[in-house]
Structure 1
């Protein structure tokens, strides 16, 4: 015996069942869409991370190259400063010798009575940056042109 409220055939779908089917289909499509969107987002994020890591490596490499140049320039500066100190010491010694020799010449002139042409020591020897100098090309060694 069948009741009058039950459908006569099992193949018939009620309006409520159809709504649930449509809702389930939309939910399934949305889930698929969300998964695909999340996958694209993760791929994009990974690509950006890879780009940033590459940039970090490049910047570290550039930084290392710059640090090597700075070290080389520092070594050249220390070498030049050392040479300047040696040259200053030599200048002082030679200037003192020149003063001594001039003193000897003045004594010899007084003792002999002969007139001698004894040049005065120019002040520029004591201030070498004021020396007149001829224009000469400045040459550098290969190591000095490292920049």
Structure 2
């Protein structure tokens, strides 16, 4: 005895189509949710990397600011010392001129010939100073980077 399959009724065919459509829709929703989850994960990882970079750049910026502050302090110290040296130079130049004036008067009054050297303009030509050359020393911490 053989059993024949009954032809499907039109109503059940529509139900199968809806079932297939619902299955596709369900799979698409699952796929979309998974894709959205991966996208959120990528976005979070990107955000974490960017936050790390911001932190690193802020640290580097702080270090550079400290180095700039240290360099400015060194510059102010050198500039201050330079101003003191310029004032001392001006004072010593005035003393030398006064002493040369006295020597000229003594030379004129006594009749003795005194060799009075000219005073160079040391601010314009510092390499022509009439004093011996002293080595310029620098410490290692003077040029911190």
Does the TM-score normalized on the shorter chain lie above 0.5? yes
1:125 corresponds, among 122, 126, 131, to 122
Measured after TM superposition, the shift of residue 136 of structure 1 is: 7.7
**Matched positions, count:** 135
RMSD: 2.4
Residue by residue over 1:12-49, the C-alpha shift from the partner in whole angstroms, topping out at 9 and shown as x without a partner, is x8111111111111111111101100000000000000
Q: TM-score, normalised by structure 1?
A: 0.81
Over 6 Å off, 4+ runs: 132-137
- The 1:137/1:109 distance shift into structure 2, 3 A limit, reads closer
Q: Which runs of 5+ in 1 are unaligned?
A: 1-7
Aligned to 1:55: 53
Aligned to 1:35: 33
- The 1:125/1:14 distance shift into structure 2, 3 A limit, reads closer
1:102 aligns to 2:100 (yes or no): yes
After the TM superposition, which residues 1-147 of structure 1 pair with which residues of structure 2 at under 5 Å, given as runs? 14-121=12-119, 123-131=120-128, 139-147=137-145
